[in-house]
Chains A and B, each alone.
Chain A
Amino acid sequence: DQQVKQNSPSLSVQEGRISILNCDYTNSMFDYFLWYKKYPAEGPTFLISISSIKDKNEDGRFTVFLNKSAKHLSLHIVPSQPGDSAVYFCAASGKNGANSKLTFGKGITLSVRP
């Protein structure tokens, strides 16, 4: 049972344009959401997070939007740069018990064309 879903396996955008990466979740106990970036043969690095008490969090070129009613979040990268090309993972967790561990989606491969 995939509790965090990234249904699009890949995305290609032109340099300078916006990249929008989507993520859906099914567990209503999740209340903290994160995005990670991963290059081949390396560990993922943390990008940005959002708590369920917010619907938007911004850090430089990266903005995460959360729609709790739809159980959907998205990562916007503006403007996209070739160095942003990587695999992006969405992750979620809750406060208690089994829900407190981080659950990841399958990832989206972003390619930014020069």
Chain B
Amino acid sequence: SQTIHQWPATLVQPVGSPLSLECTVEGTSNPNLYWYRQAAGRGLQLLFYSVGIGQISSEVPQNLSASRPQDRQFILSSKKLLLSDSSFYLCAWTGGVHTEAFFGQGTRLTVV
């Protein structure tokens, strides 16, 4: 069966520090991978979307970047965190069009 792992679950980082959140999927190949952010009262905002290795679509301009070094690995990064980057970050995968997305457990990032 397919599983998705996202870590860490919580993270407290100082302003200006780098960020690396990792997401891996098991039990499937060539998944579509997503990074979402849930800010209070703003629902699920799509940040990045990837249909294959090295293929990243950015949905909103921001202080973050994403990479997909391997088929089932998706990484969310920042070189210098801002206070406004504090949020709940979610990784998800789908098997293709017209399939449901499966989410990781999320990472609560607090920038102090």
The reply to whether B46 and A46 form a contact with Cβ atoms under 8 Å apart is no
Asked whether B11 is an interface residue with its Cβ less than 8 Å from the other chain, the reply is no
The reply to whether A106 and B41 form a contact with Cβ atoms under 8 Å apart is yes
Choice from A51, A94, A98, A104 contacting B43 with Cβ under 8 Å: A104
Asked whether B36 is an interface residue with its Cβ less than 8 Å from the other chain, the reply is yes
Can you list 22 contacts pairing A with B, beta carbon distance less than 8 Å?
A9-B41, A31-B98, A41-B108, A42-B105, A43-B6, A44-B44, A45-B103, A49-B100, A51-B98, A89-B43, A93-B97, A93-B98, A94-B97, A96-B97, A101-B46, A101-B49, A102-B34, A102-B46, A102-B92, A104-B36, A104-B44, A106-B42
Residues in chain B near residue A49, CB distance under 8 A: 100
Chain A positions 86 through 109: 1 when the CB is less than 8 Å from some CB of chain B, otherwise 0: 000101011110101111111100
* A→B interface (CB under 8 Å): 6, 9, 31-32, 34, 41-46, 49, 51, 89, 91, 93-96, 98, 100-107
Q: Shortest distance in angstroms between A25's beta carbon and chain B's nearest beta carbon?
A: 14
Residues in chain A near residue B94, CB distance under 8 A: 102
Residues in chain B near residue A44, CB distance under 8 A: 44, 90, 103
Find the A residue at minimum CB distance from B88.
Answer: A41
Tell me the chain B residues, 11-54 only, with Cβ under 8 Å from chain A: 32, 34, 36, 41-44, 46, 49
Residues in chain A near residue B103, CB distance under 8 A: 43-45
Interface centre among A46, A51, A98, A101 (most CB of B within 10 A): A101
Find the A residue at minimum CB distance from B100.
Answer: A46
Interface centre among B97, B100, B105 (most CB of A within 10 A): B100
The reply to whether A43 and B49 form a contact with Cβ atoms under 8 Å apart is no
Q: A41-B108, A44-B90 are in contact. Are A105 and B43 (CB under 8 A)?
A: yes
